[in-house]
Structure 1
C-alpha cells in the first residue's frame, strides 16, 4: 500500500523521500526517559531529517495488538523528543508543537475487521497515532485508512484497497502542489 501511494504521488509530480521501517536498525529503548539523551543512530537522524523536510507525511504499518508495531513506537519514542517534536514550557503543563505546518496520512492494515475494531476498541490505534503522537507534535492528521481483515481478504478486496490509496496519493500530491 505504501508503494501504491508513493507511485501515485510521484506520478502526479510530488517529490518523495522514503524510509522503510524494516531497514531501520536502532535501539528502541529510552532507558532513562528524557533525563539522559542517547545518541541517535543514523537511520533515526535520517528519519528526523525527512520529517523536517516534508510538508506531508505518510506512515504505513500493520496494526499490532490494537496499536502500532513496537518498532514504529520505538522510532517515535527515540525521535519525537523535546526540542524536536515539542518544547515543554518552563512553567505549567503546556508545550509548543514544533512540527506544526505539516500534515499526515496513516495507512494501517489489520487482521481484525474494521467494524470490530470500531465497536470493540473504539479505533484505539487510530486515536493513538492521531491524537497522542501527530497532534501533540503539531502535525495535522488528514486521514487514517484502516484496511482489514487482511488475512482473509480476496485479491479483489486488496485491489480495491490499493485503488483507494492510489487515489489518495494522487489527490494529496495535487492538493499539496496547489498550496505551494
Structure 2
C-alpha cells in the first residue's frame, strides 16, 4: 500500500551537492516510482533558530517554517531522516529543528500520565539514514550506534513514532561505498520503509 513519506534531509550545508542530498534524492525517486507520495524538507534551508529558554520550549511554535514542518509531519505516515554523523552526533541544524518542531503540545501532551505525557505521533514510523567516514559496522559495534539509539529512544519513540529503523552508510569517501549506499536507499524508497 502506498505510503505518505516525508524526507527530512539534514545536511547542514544548504547549497547541496553532498552525499546526503544524493541519498535523499535517490530515496525520493525510488519511492515516487513505486507510487508513494513524497514530500521533502531540507532542514538547512529553513528559518528555524535554536531555542534559547524553557519558555521558548513551552510555548506554541510561531515561525512559519516550524508550523509548515509540523503540518508535513502530521500528514506523513513514514519519516525518513538523512544526515551525516558530525562529532559523533547529529548536526546542530537537525537538533535545532527537532527542538522547535517536536515541542510539547505537538509531539507529546505535557500533562503526565503514569509518568509520561501522551505520545501524539503514534501511528507513524521512521527510518534514520546516517552517513559517516568510518565503517558502518564499526560505528554499530564499537560505538554502539549511540547517536542513532539516542535519537530513536529519546526523541522519536518518546513522541510515539515506531518502529524506528536505522541505516548506516560508512566509508562515504569511497565511490564503491557510495554506490552501495545509494542502491540500499533506492530499495528502501521503493518499499517505502
TM bin, normalised by shorter chain, reads: 0.7 to 0.9
**2:81 counterpart of 1:59:** yes
Query: Which has the higher mean CA deviation after the structures are superposed, 36-45 or 159-168?
Result: 36-45
**Structure 2 gaps, min length 5:** 1-22
Output aligned runs, 1:101-180, within 5 Å. Answer: 101-151=123-173, 153=174, 155-172=175-192
CA displacement at 1:26 relative to structure 2: 2.0
Deviation track 1:84-126 (CA, whole Å, cap 9, x = no partner) reads 1011334652221100000111111012222332233211011
Q: Matches of 1:90 and 1:156 in 2, distance apart? A: 49
CA displacement at 1:156 relative to structure 2: 2.4
TM, length-normalised to structure 1: 0.87
Task: Give the secondary structure class of the aligned counterpart of 1:112.
Answer: coil
Sort the Cα spacing of 1:156 and 1:45 in 2 relative to 1 into closer, same or farther, 3 A: same
Sort the Cα spacing of 1:102 and 1:38 in 2 relative to 1 into closer, same or farther, 3 A: closer
Deviation track 1:108-166 (CA, whole Å, cap 9, x = no partner) reads 10122223322332110110111111100011134210111223x1x222111101000
Are the aligned partners of 1:67 and 1:128 in contact in 2 as well (CA < 8 Å)?
Answer: no
Task: Give the secondary structure class of the aligned counterpart of 2:37.
Answer: coil
Matched with 1:44 is 66
TM, length-normalised to structure 2: 0.81
Are the aligned partners of 1:68 and 1:125 in contact in 2 as well (CA < 8 Å)?
Answer: yes
Q: How many residues align?
A: 171
CA displacement at 1:38 relative to structure 2: 6.5
Sort the Cα spacing of 1:172 and 1:72 in 2 relative to 1 into closer, same or farther, 3 A: same
Deviation >4 Å, runs of 4+: 33-36
Q: Matches of 1:110 and 1:104 in 2, distance apart? A: 20
Sort the Cα spacing of 1:90 and 1:21 in 2 relative to 1 into closer, same or farther, 3 A: closer
Coordinate RMSD, CA, aligned: 1.9
